[in-house]
Amino acid sequence: MLNGLPAFSDPRILVGTSTADDAGVISLTPELALVHTVDVFAPVVDDPYTFGRIAAVNSLSDIYAMGGDPLAALNVAGFPGNLDSSVLTDILRGGQDAMLEAGAAPLGGHTFQSSEVRYGLAVTGVIHPDRIITNANARPGDRLVLTKPIGCGTIVQAIMTRGAVNCRILEECRASMLRSNRTASQIMRRYARACTDVTGFGLLGHLQEMMEGSDVGAELFVSELPIFEGVLDLIREGVVDSGVKPNRNSFETNVEFAAEVQVEMQTLLFGAETSGGLLIAAPPQHSSDLCRELRNCGCLSAEIGVVTNAPKGKVKVKFNV
């Protein structure tokens, strides 16, 4: 779609559409730049307030993945005319609470009539132009660190199709989606060479985008992956989230699976995530310090792979190192 747009240039743009970064960055002064992002999606939980918080946390994460700090946000909401307006009020309240906790000022927004509920934020953040962390600077030898488990898409799909999953698994997934990447972002800025957050394109999609932007490849070790309990069993039972097919179509040509990687694991890696963790490429001499600081602050820190000299965007998925 972007290929059909006329080319343009603007010296103020520090991060634009040339890479698949999480947000755009535009310079204001030699010491200040603005980080812009927007994200909207359908409910992933039944409770309106919780959905609002999750959607807001998910939107704010794009600012954190770039190494920025949220400044202000606008609500973007699609809402059916036949639903009680109190539902939208609860969604907006959840979003506002997440914004305020992030230090972002809620500035209003836009609501449109929709056949289904949709909600998210357009967020503006701030960053020093010399401290921008993109997804396009990973180097061979860098270690890949992930800060949240994967499998939310499968759990949400199980709720939608079955009406219920194990209460403990559901609560762990909900807690993860509600957990802000703010602390992980503040830590990774001291160590990261590249970063992205893992959301709709799934772990493989976002990893491949990072590798393509950096003109490198990667090896991913599934034995090191943090995965929500019971997710692989759900996939074996036929629960496949709606993001798997489009993500597989978009990214599988550059992915090579070792023979020992099970089919259900392959499916999981293409699955969409909601409000997922940060995927960080850190120099090998700093990865241990990064992981230790993340753990000390209560964040998950799983070293799941390594950046290689493989062809641009090529990802090899192995069972272990």
Q: In the chain, where does DSSP find H-type helix?
A: 48-65, 85-102, 152-162, 167-178, 182-188, 202-214, 231-236, 244-251, 263-270, 284-296
142 CA to centre of own chain: 20
Q: What distance in Å separates the CA atoms of residue 106 and residue 320, rounded to the nearest whole number? A: 45
Query: Which candidate, 125, 21, 132, 65, places its Cα nearest to that of 280?
Result: 65
Q: What distance in Å separates the CA atoms of residue 170 and residue 155, rounded to the nearest whole number? A: 7
Determine the structural domain holding residue 126 and report its residue range: 2-131
One domain for residues 173 and 299:
yes
Measured on CA atoms in the order 209, 215, 220, 225, is the torsion positive or negative? negative
The residues pairing with 34 across neighbouring beta strands, listed in sequence order, are: 26, 126
H/E element holding 191? none
One domain for residues 55 and 147:
no
In a domain, 136, yes or no: no
Distances in Å between the Cα of 134 and the Cα atoms of 51, 68, 218, 237, 311 are 28, 11, 17, 38, 20
Using pLDDT thresholds of 50, 70 and 90, give the confidence band for residue 249. very high
Query: Which candidate, 269, 3, 281, 272, places its Cα nearest to that of 134?
Result: 281
pLDDT reported for residue 242: 92
Q: What distance in Å separates the CA atoms of residue 100 and residue 104, rounded to the nearest whole number? A: 6
Residue 47 is which amino acid?
D
Mean pLDDT to the nearest integer, 88-95: 98
Indicate whether 132 pLDDT > 90: yes
One domain for residues 171 and 305:
yes
One domain for residues 261 and 164:
yes
CATH number of 38's domain: 3.30.1330.10
CB 68 within 8 A of CB 125: yes
pLDDT reported for residue 282: 98
One domain for residues 92 and 184:
no
One domain for residues 104 and 40:
yes
In a domain, 60, yes or no: yes
CATH number of 159's domain: 3.90.650.10
One domain for residues 114 and 70:
yes
One domain for residues 291 and 198:
yes
Residues 6+ apart with CB under 8 A from 183: 297, 298, 299
- Number of helices and strands (H, E) in the chain? 10, 13
One domain for residues 15 and 116:
yes
Give pLDDT tens digits for 186-208.
999 999 999 999 999 999 999 99
**185-196 in b/e burial notation, b at 16+ Cβ within 10 A?**
bebbbebbbbbb
One domain for residues 119 and 149:
no
Indicate whether 2 pLDDT > 90: no
Using pLDDT thresholds of 50, 70 and 90, give the confidence band for residue 5. confident
Into how many domains does the chain fold? 2
Indicate whether 163 pLDDT > 80: no
Mean pLDDT to the nearest integer, 105-118: 96
Mean pLDDT to the nearest integer, 220-240: 96
What's the pTM?
0.96
Pairing of strands 105-113, 69-79: parallel
Average pLDDT, the chain: 96
Give, to the nearest 10 degrees, the angle between helix 263-270 and helix 244-251. 90
Residues 6+ apart with CB under 8 A from 256: 314, 315, 316, 317
